[in-house]
Structure 1
Amino acid sequence: MKILTLNIRGFGKDVESESKVNWFCKMCQTKNPDIVFVQESKCNTVDDRWVELIWGSSNVSYVQKPKIGKSGGLLIIWDPSIFVVTAAVEKRHFIAIKGKWKGKDNESIIVNVYGPHNDNDKSIFFDSLDVLLNVSNVDWIIGGDFNEVRFSSECQNSRFISRRACVFNDFIDRNQLIEIPLLGKRFTRISDDGRKLSKLDRFLVNESFVQTWGHTSVIALDRRTSDHCPLILRDSNIDFGPKPFKLFNIWLENKDVEKIIVDAWNEQNALRTWSKYQYGTLDEEIENWQNITKEMEEKADSGSLNDDDRTSWINARAI
């Protein structure tokens, strides 16, 4: 089980050329999530082709809530061979799907949220979730951008409003929800000027989910083109990445195998030579800027980012 969530702050117009879209596509295809939550897609109604390009495969299902005006937009994308959906519901600030994980007996209701900013809408938002959570005997997974912190330690250089935090915490308590601890970062959102940091994104589950899945964790990934970092909720199964290359002894009995190996090796080296000739040290430069961004954000997490650091961070993110 692996669920990825991200407030993307708008995909842009061209799915095949926008750097933000390319980053998101690569993340989906390298992290291999079973389900993806997107907040602030800023998209009108999307079609099958668009989702397949994002997912990297035609084996995909999705539900959506289009943007309202110039903002908003929610999307859940999933692998139907892993999670079989039987129902879906759309409300103003969230969308939810109900179904079963392959190999699991319990039903699950999975909710992608994008919380509102003002107090009145927050009350309506949590009331709507209360009604949804009235369904019993299911595993609950509620994730996304709640647009709210729970404690003063979850924000830096921004005002902590205790009454809003109390409303959020009361919602969690009365529904007996559990927050999966975040690993890798203290904060999930950083303002464009690098000054304000907050933990707005999270995953909440119920006790039934814990009994079904056992140990789970939430990992914060590096942010690139959004002010929010992606989060991945995963079970305790270790992901070792791509499978190692296998060499079968019977191949060595084939007279053509040596030529195949030599040709493949030469082609790889030729590609590297061409890339270096055409683009120089572009890969190294990109990696260097990404490392600077990561270093500055780690300093921001500890509260030690000065004006020069913020300038370096802004410049690195602009590359």
Structure 2
Amino acid sequence: MFTSADVISSRNYLINIGTWEGISRPVIIANIYGPQTVREKALLWEELKGIIQAIDGVWIMMGDFNAVRRPDERFNSIFCYRTARDFNKFIQEVGFTDLKMGGFRYTCFRNDDIKLSKLDRFLISPSFLDIAPKTSVTALPRELSDHCPILLSTTKPDFGPPPFRLFNSWLRREGFEKTFITSWNNFIGFGTPDQYMVAKLRHVKEALKKWRATEHPIEEATLIKLKKEIERLDQEAESRALNIEEATRRRDSFKKIAELEKLRALDIKQKSRVKWAVDRDENTRFFHGHINNNNSKNGIDGLMIRVVVH
């Protein structure tokens, strides 16, 4: 539930600042109506940029921006390069994400539905994607209006279990090779050669999934335990010198944590699919941001069949 604490308004925006149950940071919901002229739009973007920089929090910006970002967001309508340039610059400078929209491609229909444009959209801050990475936007049927209502959803439709994915880091983890060889050699099947191979690979896949489902919680618990042990020894070191056994245990704990964190970073890097990521770059927040952006762009949020969204 959102509770408004303060409001900033003008002719072109209504900004509500408040709290959202379950979110520790302030939440800012901004409803925008873009002006008509190119100059007025540019001034509005500068004004909004100043407000965004002044108010730290989780931003959700929505409305009719009266601007498009690309030529394909207009049909039978004039594309203004200057307006698009200024709008894109604004989005880039504030660091917001323009969520991929499902449903209808255009949101505004003018002149007996001859001129079509995508003027309505949601722009959200990276901090919102951190909280709700499965966020999606859908343009719903407009019925009697000349604009389509757009719906922001923070839940992902259930299309069944995700497909199996083998992470490169598994090859470095203890137990992977044994699980693979055992399941490969112990398989008993029948059928044509291709059917036999498919069944055998499926058998190996299930064995690896069970192995990982067992090992992952153990790794997480081990990581927490090691960090607590280092914290305890650090506190001890503030009041006395650590003995040889304690110093060795602390050094070994650091080494084990580094190994586990490196494997975790490899998984995050593989998920992010950032082509230019280098091996020693372990900026997990950066990679998580790319993962969330990829999910918002590549996800299938629903199917529209005869103007009904499923």
TM-score in terms of structure 1 length: 0.48
**Larger relative contact order (Cα-Cα within 8 Å, sequence gap ≥ 6):** 1
Higher fraction of helix: 2
Higher fraction of strand: 1
Question: Which has the greater radius of gyration?
Answer: 2
